C-alpha cells in the first residue's frame, strides 16, 4: 500500500456528470483518459468491425466501469453510447504519471464506493434507505450524526 504522500498528484478527483441519451461516452480506437462508472442509466457497448459493420456487444448499467483500458494506456476497444439519460462518476487517469498499482487500487475504491451506494437502492423501505444514507454520510464525514440544513 502506498502512503498518502505518494498518492498525491496521481489521484484525480471523481466528478459526477449527466449525459443525455445518444451521447457517445467512449470512442472505439481513441485513447481513453478517464475511468467512468455508470451510476444511473443504460449504456450500449458496440464494436465497429473491419468490414465497417457495427455490432452491439453488450447492454450495461449501474455499477459497471468503462474506460479500464485507460489504466493500461491503450485505445478503447468499443464505443460506449448512452441509451438513456445517464449519471456517471468519472475520474481522470493521468497516464503520464500513472503508477499501475495506484490506478488499480483507485479504480477498485471507486467501484466499491459506487457499489456501497447502489446497495441503498435495494433496501425495501424508504425509511431504511434514508437511515442507511445518513449512516454512510456520517461515516464519510467522520461524524457520529448528520445535521441537515
Residue-wise pLDDT for 64-91, tens only, equals 888 876 666 567 788 899 999 999 988 8
Gyration radius (Cα) of the chain, Å:
18
* Sequence-distant (≥ 6) Cβ neighbours of residue 82 within 8 angstroms: 19, 20, 21, 22, 23, 24, 25, 41, 42, 43, 44
Average pLDDT, the chain: 78
Residue 2 pLDDT exceeds 70: no
- Residue scoring higher pLDDT (127 or 4): 127
Q: What's the predicted TM-score (pTM) here?
A: 0.58
Over pLDDT 70: what percentage of the chain?
71
Amino acid at each position: 500500500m502506498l502512503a498518502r504522500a505518494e498518492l498525491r498528484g496521481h489521484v484525480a478527483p471523481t466528478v459526477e456528470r449527466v449525459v443525455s441519451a445518444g451521447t457517445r461516452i467512449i470512442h472505439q480506437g481513441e485513447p481513453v483518459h478517464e475511468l467512468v462508472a455508470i451510476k444511473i442509466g443504460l449504456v450500449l457497448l458496440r464494436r465497429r468491425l473491419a468490414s465497417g459493420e457495427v455490432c452491439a456487444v453488450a447492454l450495461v448499467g449501474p455499477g459497471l466501469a468503462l474506460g479500464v483500458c485507460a489504466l493500461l494506456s491503450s485505445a478503447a476497444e468499443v464505443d460506449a453510447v448512452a441509451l438513456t439519460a445517464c449519471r456517471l462518476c468519472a475520474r481522470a487517469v493521468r497516464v503520464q504519471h500513472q503508477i499501475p498499482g495506484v490506478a488499480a487500487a483507485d479504480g477498485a475504491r471507486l467501484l466499491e464506493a459506487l457499489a456501497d451506494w447502489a446497495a441503498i437502492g435495494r433496501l425495501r423501505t424508504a425509511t431504511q434507505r434514508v437511515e442507511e444514507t445518513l449512516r454512510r454520510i456520517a461515516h464519510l464525514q467522520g461524524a457520529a450524526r448528520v445535521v441537515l440544513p
